[in-house]
Amino acid sequence: MIGGMSRLINTYIFKEISVPFLLSLAVLTATGLLSKTVKLIELIVTHGIGPSFIFWFIISVIPSFIIYTIPVAFIIGVLVAFTRLSSDSEITAMKAAGVSLFSIMKPVMLVAFVAYLATLTFTLYLFPWGNINLRNLLFEAAKAKLVSGIEEKTFYDKFKGAVLYVDHLNIKTGEMEGIFISQTGSVGSTAGAKAPGTPGGPAGAGAQAGPGAESTIFFASRGVFSPPTEESTVYLKLYNGTIHRKTENNGAYHIADFESYVLELSIAGSDSAAPGKRPNRELYINELTRRIKEIRAKGERTAPYMIDLHKRFALPASVFVFALLGVPLGIQKIRAARFTGFSVALAVVLCYYVVSTALEALGENGRLNPVLAVWGSDIIFLAAGFYIFHAAAKDRPIDLGSRITDLASRLRRGRAHKR
């Protein structure tokens, strides 16, 4: 009989938490998407993107904020549920029936564990995937606009380190005739043209790209853009042309003919997709760990990278902290329970993220160990949660406001005494 009642109460509390949790998650996710609406409208207007792009844009951008909205929605769900149960005296009835606060925590921890697994999945896998996919989507949209913007008998300078001129362009096939391309700087570091002697390159060593290459000019009878094999470039296949190259170190001038040549052109403003050059938000855990080892081997500071690494685990773990805080705060006798539960949740979240941001700033500046900087907020609020939970389990009133005021007054008296 007792076991059946316990299961009934657990199921009841589970449902009470799940409904406001899912509702809050939906509202917060929709709010996060609204913040990206301006960017999406800009892409629709400037690039003419279609439904497929919009769909993948939304899918890719959701992980960037849902890693924060899941913990926030969880504590809102807990506080709204338990303030409602407390205001309706259902918590009092459960205690009268012999149900302890520890038993009440079981369904709460179950929801917390589900929220933890969901957040961890996003931080470890979907967050970097979404950032990578979003960058690729934006690049593809920009690339399509750049390539489609080429006009006949007009100099086109949207490629990094290169200027393109086309005498005739077949709009249907995309084939170009009478091509002139001027490159500045080292070919290997700007447009990345294939060196002669490689597959698809011209014969002869005269056009070999060297470290002192200053300027290169291509003339070709015709050419066409080929599908890219990398994410930050477009490939232009040239036919029946000539390469003119002048080296900086000795002033030598080289000329080479070719039948076919594949030229790699980088779009201005694009970043390399190599793991060593991608920002931390686009790195998976193994890549981020490898980068930390490489930076440590060079003797450089690893604090920003350590913070990013541990944050992937500390952020999901915050749901257990919020569970320990939410239940005892929610069962306090407060009027207007639903609105109070929501406002208390926002206050707790605000305090948590203010402390987290402050500690992370100290960690990045080297004033605090980066691991402690990330986990410090969880440790502080976990200790507060244990204290509040213990007080609630003993049926002692929780008056955090007066205790904080007393602590502040003690600190002021201590400073005045030192003076």
pLDDT at 26: 94
pLDDT of residue 406: 58
- Over residues 111-160, the pLDDT tens digits come to 999 999 999 999 999 999 999 998 888 877 766 666 677 888 888 887 88
Q: What is the pLDDT of residue 147?
A: 67
Contact of 322 with 74, CB cutoff 8 Å: yes
What average pLDDT does the segment 168-191 reach? Answer: 73
Measured between alpha carbons, how far is 52 from 240 in angstroms, rounded to an integer? 38
pLDDT tens-place string over residues 190-244? 333 443 333 344 333 333 444 444 688 999 999 988 765 555 677 889 999 999 8
Give pLDDT, residue 402. 53
Q: Which of 166, 136, 311, 313 is nearest to 232 (CA)?
A: 136
More confident residue, 325 or 230: 325
DSSP codes of every residue in 8-38:
HHHHHHHHHHHHHHHHHHHHHHHHHHHHTHH
Q: What is the DSSP secondary structure assignment for residue 251, as one 8-state letter?
A: -
Give the CA radius of gyration of the chain.
Answer: 31
| Share above pLDDT 70 across residues of the chain, in percent, rounded to a whole number | 76
Name which residue leads in pLDDT, 402 or 184. 184
User: What pLDDT, on the 0 to 100 scale, is given for residue 245?
Assistant: 85
Rounded Cα distance, 46 and 43, in Å? 5
Rounded-to-integer distance, Cα 19 and Cα 25, Å: 10
How far are the Cα atoms of 17, 25, 36, 69, 372 from residue 30, in angstroms, in the given order?
20, 8, 10, 10, 33
DSSP helix/strand/coil, 370:
helix
The mean per-residue pLDDT over the stretch 338-360 comes to 83
Residue 184 has pLDDT above 90, yes or no: no
What is the mean pLDDT of the segment spanning 309-335?
A: 88
Per-residue pLDDT tens for 367-376?
999 999 999 9
Residue 46: CB atoms within 10 A of its CB come to 11
* Residue extents of the structural domains in the chain: 2-141+283-407, 161-266
pLDDT of amino acid 74: 96
pLDDT grade, residue 269 (50/70/90)? low
What's the pLDDT tens digit per position in 11-34? 999 999 999 999 999 999 999 888
